[in-house]
Chain A
Amino acid sequence: MTDPGSGIGHFARFGIDAAMCRRVLEAATAFGVDDADLFFEHAATTSVSLTDGKVNRCSTSVDLGVGVRVVVGDQVGYAFTEDLDLDSMLHAARVAAQIARGGKVVAPVGTRRLVIPDFYPVDRRWDDVDIGVRVPLVRDWEARAFAKDGRVRSVEASLADTDRYVLVVRADGQLAEDYRPMTRAYVGVTAVEGSLRESASYNVAGRRGLDYYDADRQERLVAEAVRRATDALHAGSPPAGEMPVVMAKGSSGILLHEAIGHGMEADFNRKGISIFADRIGTAVARPEVTIVDDATLPGARGALNVDDEGSPTEKTVLVENGVLRSYLHDRISARHYGVAPTGSGRRESFRHPVLPRMRCTYMEPGKSTAEEIISSVEKGIWCESFQNGQVQIGAGDFAFYVRYGYLIENGKLTRPIKDVNLIGNGPKVLESIEMVGDDLEIDEGGWTCGKDGQSVPVSQGMPTVKVGRLSVGGGRS
């Protein structure tokens, strides 16, 4: 392994050098492996928050460490340490190496630095932004929220940001460095009208610097929180049962995330436990449906210059004109299937092994207008904002929670609804997507995806879409 030379300075940040990495990888690969890597990470997070009319809380955290992964076939040994001295790293490597033996020996060789794109350039890293710059921003959001509507009773707001530095050194000699900014702003509003009381929130997030918070975004952050809380005051439950559901543009991408996204993660498929296993090349939806998972959207929360095992990232087509095209691969599943990785190998932190994960999942736009789609529904619901979702990979059943929407009666949005769970079966729902709108929007919200106890930031998007039937939790008919 040669010294990485210029780079972007991560070796110095971690207090390591190429010789140390070589020794640790030699220990990790001592019994013969198919793959091994070191994942160094340094993350510094700051958040300030407002409550009771004051910006009176701040928190910071620093996370530093290295994960050592050893792979033999589809078997993984994993250890990590927060001490980056050579002895601690060698110990972690020896622990990880115990997993299995007898793979093809891959000796550490000369370093190749992966040249990566920059999907999230920032002028100024968050480390260079004073707390004193954050405080007035957050205070101003509260003032604006109160000014927008007399029914606003209380406001909470926060601004959080992270500078994350990662360095992946692989046993095959490839090295990749990345700087990953992240910021998220939140405004929560409680509104009161007579005896009615409701809370709602809005948040925006991206791999961006301070310039993310331009005037339009700040206005939308506050206005949407106030609108959702005040509109919800008069919202009720929809009737219960199966009915057509119109998914509004934007955060409705949660449908894709749960109905197909997880099922297309290749680890579930190589194990045969996904309902989409063995279905590549088959039709799963109407020809107007094309679904992608894209790491390359500039500044998106789910964007990645390089994945967490050093693979280049891409825009992966999951469903093309209704036909299943590709799973989301990490290096293990790519080897299993004999294909190239899709740059989907991700981990929550150095404490976690790599898994195939989504990045930004969305449906390509179709030809219908939102008005045409809504007017085609005699009785159903229109869903605009969502809180959480879940899926059973093998059965294909999935659910997501609708925070707010409208009842559709005779092609018109008639009355607001809220707090209802929707449940369906992934393949059945994909088949029942009847109309696709021309208004794709990538949601700006701070979505986080959980899998096997690991959380990673993701994005999602959607044009307005009509689903023929979904089971809507609701009140008595």
Chain B
Amino acid sequence: MSDVNTQRRDLLDLAERVVARARALGADEVTAVASRGSHTSITRRDGKVEQATEATSRSVSVSLLVDERFSSHGTSDLRPDALDAFLARAIDATRYLETDPDRRLPDPALCGRLVSDDQLEQLDPDHLSYTASDRAESAEALERAVRERSPASTISSATYVADGVSVLARVTSNGFADTQADGWFTGGAEMTITDPDGRRPEASAFYGARHRATLPGAGLIADEVVARALERVGSGPIASGAYTMVLENRAARQILGVLGGALSGNALHHQRSCLAGKLGERIGSDLLTIVDDPTVPRGLASRPWDGDGLIAERRPIVSNGVLQQYYLGVYYARKLGMPVTTGGRSNWILPVGTRSWQEIAAEHKKVIFVNGFLGGNNNAATGDFSFGIQGVLLEDGAPTRPVSEMNVSGNTLTIFHQLVEAANDPWTFSSVITPSLVFTDVQFSGM
């Protein structure tokens, strides 16, 4: 960790120098973020290394308020002369703009942290002693596990291991100065197999975690990618209609995500949110509860403070179907004349049910188990969404055929009223920690 502590000091020093320099050049308020990240990755395919990358990256970003005018800038050219010229140009450019006094820095009393980096466990204490040979062994072990399990129909398989550490320092001209460090590990596999119909369906299984020990073992990843690939053989569309949808835990963030855009201060301010005016109103069934928690130890979106430097706190977003909060950073809270919450999502946590999704599905005549999406989008202003899906048709709980080339469509304001049960399988390898979710009467289009 000594390297990280040195980096923290160096980056804090750099950010403080940038703030001082920008102030000297005429900026009234300044936020500077200096960051340094390193990452390595190894992709192995069909028995050998396909690609290995390694790099360390540094950058500085700065936000300026000059005569009530706002601008933001970033550079990776940190040569002293270049950085000086960059700041001078940035401040000069800002003077051409029109005023935006709502861009002022937040009250320092609202800023800082209540949780230490140790509490957040964002950096694996063993990360910096993870060596090149450890990485190579990890990549080989994962590939070995996948190849041992590969069915005869395998055309190609690839495995991927990667990790990185990033450290950043944030300094403002009104007294905020802090650093944070985090690390991440990824392990995953892809497989392409032959389908007798001539297609070459592919599947993947990817896991991410803050600590290496949190990642599942190679065998589990390999089992999963093989199962997912075999499941795709012979897939196709089924008849259009309304079905019960079981949304697999790791795929659920796509549907939950339609809420995210409509909750943002930007969408609300620009009158592009179907959730405008719905604070305190019911937007889903009693089962819809979402907590935004930036303090989850090892959480993939945990943080001590948000993008404004505001103290990170656990917040209810939806409680038993009732909308509790929007995402309002300092700027949009001022614009909307509403209390500031936080500008962006951290970890979303949904409550867990008591039964497996298979038990729940068995109670329904026809279920589409959705475990992947293909394309699609949503309209935050109207709430309409339409996504391509893949999954499996289950009849009376038994899988009867793999499904593809189908779309699911609906509306943000109605779909969550159709949420009838949550399964008992929270997915923790994502910043959206949710179990599989069951919705009734969902519109699918296929044949």
Contacts and interface: CB of A to CB of B under 8 A. Distances in A.
Nearest to A477: B240
Nearest to A469: B447
A472 B384 contact: no
Interface in B24-83: 45-46, 48-59, 69-78, 82
B330 to A, nearest CB: 15
11 contacts: A60-B86, A62-B82, A63-B76, A82-B78, A190-B270, A190-B271, A198-B381, A242-B447, A390-B374, A395-B232, A401-B376
Interface stretch (A204-212, A374-382, A416-424): A416-424
B73 A59 contact: yes
Interface stretch (B87-95, B123-131, B293-301, B363-371): B87-95
B156 A56 contact: no
A76 B199 contact: no
Nearest to A242: B447
Interface in A342-367: 351, 353
Contacts of B97: 48, 54-58, 131, 135
Contacts of B57: 80, 82, 351
Contacts of A46: 93
B405 A60 contact: no
A77 B90 CA distance: 37
A373 interface: no
Contact of B404 (A237, A389, A397): A397
B409 to A, nearest CB: 4
Interface stretch (A91-99, A103-111, A164-172): A91-99
Contacts of B116: none
A428 B404 CA distance: 14
B52 A399 contact: no
Contacts of A401: 375-377, 386
A425 interface: yes
A473 B407 contact: yes
A400 interface: yes
B348 interface: no
Contacts of A418: 379, 384
B447 A60 contact: no
Nearest to A75: B49
B377 A473 contact: no
A197 interface: yes
A396 interface: yes
Given A55-B98, A64-B77, A98-B52, A423 B407 contact: yes
A19 interface: no
Nearest to A67: B55
Interface of B: 45-46, 48-59, 69-78, 82, 86, 89-90, 92-94, 96-100, 132, 155-156, 192, 195, 198-202, 232, 235, 237, 240, 242, 270-272, 335, 374-379, 381-382, 384-388, 390, 404-409, 443-447
A237 B55 contact: no
Contacts of A99: 49, 51-52
B77 A394 contact: no
B388 A421 contact: yes
Contacts of A399: 374-376, 388, 407
B271 A65 contact: no
A275 B200 contact: yes
Given A389-B375, A395-B201, 4 more contacts: A62-B75, A130-B96, A199-B381, A353-B51
A287 interface: no
A411 interface: no
A194 interface: no
A132 interface: yes
Interface in A409-451: 418-425
Interface stretch (A27-35, A266-274, A300-308): A266-274
B333 to A, nearest CB: 15
A67 B278 CA distance: 50
Contact of A397 (B50, B73, B156, B374): B374
A76 B364 CA distance: 50
A473 B408 contact: yes
Residue among B48, B54, B384, B390 with most chain A CB within 10 A: B54
B71 A392 contact: no
A335 B382 CA distance: 51
A476 to B, nearest CB: 6
